[in-house]
């Protein structure tokens, strides 16, 4: 069936990220075990709760500081937490503009308020506008919709709210767990290398 819609991940696909930078930043603040609590594939419940919008940024900071026995101001914490966020290359926005001419575009991201604020700040400083509002038919952040990948309900939420069909939709992500879940939901999928999506090589988009 013809692809009419594309659902894109944010971190590692559109936005460059590096978890190691946050691990290093936390170690510099005296917290040496963040890797045991938080990674791309597994997370302590406080990180999941923050990505699901169940807890506030203040509660998240306090809980993580307590778990890691770290002494840091909120500003220091946020700077370390945001260290993983790198840049949003203009070349990817250019390609998204091209996709927009042919497909309905949607964004589905496991996100939290601290990171979202930072990403929007980067977009404003670098480009002077919000590309999510400009190029996507709709965008879904986990902390807003209360559902996160790889939960099937996250994909179902996008399909139902956007009134699109799974078999007509391509999902692009850099995490295999999310890819497998989307595939189980009947979506077409493309697993890409983190920070090097090479979308133009994906045969469905040629």
The predicted pLDDT at position 198 comes to 67
Q: Which two tokens stand for residue 157?
A: 């939420």
Long-range contacts of 200-203 (CB under 8 A, 24+ apart): 200/95, 202/172
**What share of the chain has pLDDT > 90, as a percent?**
86
The predicted pLDDT at position 199 comes to 60
Q: How far is CA 56 from CA 3, 92, 124, in A?
A: 38, 32, 24
The predicted pLDDT at position 205 comes to 53
Name which of 119, 172, 110, 118 is nearest 141 in CA terms: 110
Every domain of the chain and the residues it spans? 5-16+88-205, 19-84
Residue 140, preceding bond cis, omega within 30 degrees? no
Q: What is the pTM of this model?
A: 0.93
What DSSP character marks residue 151?
Answer: S
The predicted pLDDT at position 206 comes to 42
- Give the angle 72-18-111 at the CA atoms, nearest 5°: 75
- CATH assignment of 5-16+88-205, given 3.40.50.700, 3.40.50.1980, 3.30.70.100, 3.40.50.1000? 3.40.50.1000
Q: What is the pLDDT of residues 8-38, one digit of tens each?
A: 999 999 999 999 999 999 999 999 889 999 9
Q: Which residues of the chain have pLDDT under 50?
A: 203-204, 206
The predicted pLDDT at position 32 comes to 87
Q: What is the CATH number of domain 19-84?
A: 1.10.150.240
The predicted pLDDT at position 200 comes to 55
Task: Give 102: exposed, middle or buried? Use CB within 10 Å, 0-12, 13-18, 19+.
Answer: exposed
Find all residues with CB under 8 Å of 43, minimum gap 6, and list them. 37, 51
């Amino acid at each position: 069936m013809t692809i009419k819609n594309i659902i894109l991940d944010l971190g590692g696909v559109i936005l460059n990220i590096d978890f190691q930078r946050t691990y290093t930043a936390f170690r510099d603040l005296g917290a040496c075990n963040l890797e045991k609590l938080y990674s791309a594939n597994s997370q302590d419940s406080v990180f999941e709760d923050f990505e699901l919008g169940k807890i506030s940024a203040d509660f998240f900071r306090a809980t993580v500081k307590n778990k890691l026995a770290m002494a840091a101001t909120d500003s220091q914490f946020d700077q370390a937490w945001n260290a993983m966020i790198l840049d949003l290359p203009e070349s990817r926005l250019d390609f998204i503009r091209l996709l927009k001419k042919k497909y309905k575009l949607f964004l589905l991201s496991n996100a939290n308020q601290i990171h979202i604020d930072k990403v929007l700040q980067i977009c404003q400083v670098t480009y002077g506008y919000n590309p999510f509002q400009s190029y996507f038919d709709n965008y879904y952040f986990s902390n807003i919709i209360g559902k996160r990948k790889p939960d099937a309900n996250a994909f179902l939420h996008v399909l139902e709210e956007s009134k699109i069909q799974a078999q007509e939709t391509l999902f692009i992500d850099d995490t295999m767990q999310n890819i497998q879940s989307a595939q189980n939901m009947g979506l077409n999928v493309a697993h890409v290398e983190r920070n090097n999506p090479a979308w133009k090589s994906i045969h469905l988009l040629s």
